[in-house]
Structures are given as structure tokens and as C-alpha cells.
Amino acid sequence: MEILHSKIEGEGKSFIILHGFLGMSDNWKTLGSQYAEHGLQVHLVDQRNHGKSFHSEAFNYELLSEDVINYMDHHHIDSAFVLGHSMGGKTAMQLATSHPERVTKLIVADIAPKFYPPHHQFIFNGLSHLDFDKITDRREADDELSNYIKDRGVRQFLLKNLYWVEKEKLGFRFNYDVLKDRMEEIGENIVSNAIYDGPALFVRGDRSEYIQPNDFPEIRRHFPKAEIETIDKAGHWLHAENPKQFFEKTLNFLNS
């Protein structure tokens, strides 16, 4: 059995953080350190096919959730606070509804328990034009990607995944081929009768379209104790766009 790669910081109650699609644990490094300073043992986890974790042809939320259970067992964690952003939020919801006894409190960042149609095609279109036989550094990769992805923030997010596969040969840490073919899976909703009755916080960006007011009843159907908070001046990457408010609201919830 393969165990997910992670970075662990701090001492105290276990707090597992799950990144979004095409992200990795490094995306949460700064916030992770802040949580650790407030008496939590923070586990920044790379999900399968992402970061430094194992690659696999199999990819769905049941498996992603079981990966976290295996990780918790490996690290002797009976139960934990769990935070997930976007795809990681779906994994966290799956985990909480399948194994409620393992999740003390749940935080879901900017994703609802509904189906989202595939919407990452433009990203994979851009990535498909990166020829690592010709591209020799990050700047060249950014120049090429800018022809297809205009948002510099999105490009920087994607290019964080670049690493030296071998001397003078760049590549992506994420499993490009599998993730490109599994875009339908990323948008999957959680099972219709799934319920987590523990404390839950859903945070949404005020500029994001991922959680709309008409999603609130569905959230509360699956998560009856859910609180829903809005982060100001933030889109889908709310933890990066307004980290101060995100940190305050989530820490208050964990400490309540």
C-alpha cells in the first residue's frame, strides 16, 4: 500500500489539509505554518497523482478518501480536523460522510457537494503546448503558456509543479495524462444520501461562482450543522487572495 507524501509541522491536534486540482501541499505552506503556531499538528498532504505522491491510473473521490484513511492509519491518527480546497474539498466531504468518526471538524473551501461540468479544458490545452524537449527553464514555459492562459496567477500556480526530471529536462509533478482524462471525475457530486453530522464550515469567495446561495440548502442537507462564511475580495483561490481573513475565520471555527 502506498502512503501519500506530506509535510508535517507543529504539535497538537492533527489538522489535515488537502489541496485542489493540479495543486500540491506547497500551496498551503504559509498558512500551514500559521496553523502550526496556534497549537496544531499540520499535515500538508499531496493527493494521488499530485505533488510528490504516487501516480495511479485509478482516480475517484472514494479512492482519494481511502488514501487519507490509509495516511491517518500510517501516522496513528484516530481523528483529525480536515480542510479541503476545491477538489480537496470534495475529498474531504467524501471522507467525512464515509468515515465520520475520523473527522472531528470539517472545513470545505469554495466547493459545494454538487456536480460541476468539466471546465479545465483551456488549462490542459495550454499545458499540451509545453514541449519539454525545447523548453529549458520556467521563464520559457511561462512565455509559451501565456499564449493560452492569460491569467498570470493561474500560470504561476501551474508552473509551481515544474521540476527537474533529470539534468536539463523539466516536467510536471502532477500526472498529466491521467488527470487530463479524468476531468469528469473532478466534478463529481457526493452520494445523494451521504451525511456528516459533525461540525462543518464552508467558506466561499465573494468573487467566486463555485458556491452560490442556491447551493446552501444542498450543503445543509448533507452537512446539517454547516456554517457558511464568505471571504471578502476573493475568488476561487480564496486562501491565497485573502489569507488573513481566511485564517481568522477557519481558526475561530477550529477553536470554537
Instruction: Write out the catalytic residue numbers.
Output: 86, 177, 236
Strand 6-9 versus strand 40-45 pairing type? antiparallel
Contact (Cβ atoms closer than 8 angstroms) between residue 140 and residue 162: no
Q: Which one-letter amino acid corresponds to residue 160?
A: K
Q: What is the 3-state secondary structure (H, E, C) of the chain?
A: CCCCCEEEECCCEEEEEECCCCCCHHHHHHHHHHHHHCCEEEEEECCCCCCCCCCCCCCCHHHHHHHHHHHHHHCCCCCEEEEEECHHHHHHHHHHHHCHHHEEEEEEECCCCCCCCCCCHHHHHHHHCCCCCCCCCHHHHHHHHCCCCCCHHHHHHHHCCEEEEECCEEEECCCHHHHHHCHHHHCCCCCCCCCCCCCEEEEEECCCCCCCHHHHHHHHHHCCCEEEEEECCCCCCHHHHCHHHHHHHHHHHHHC
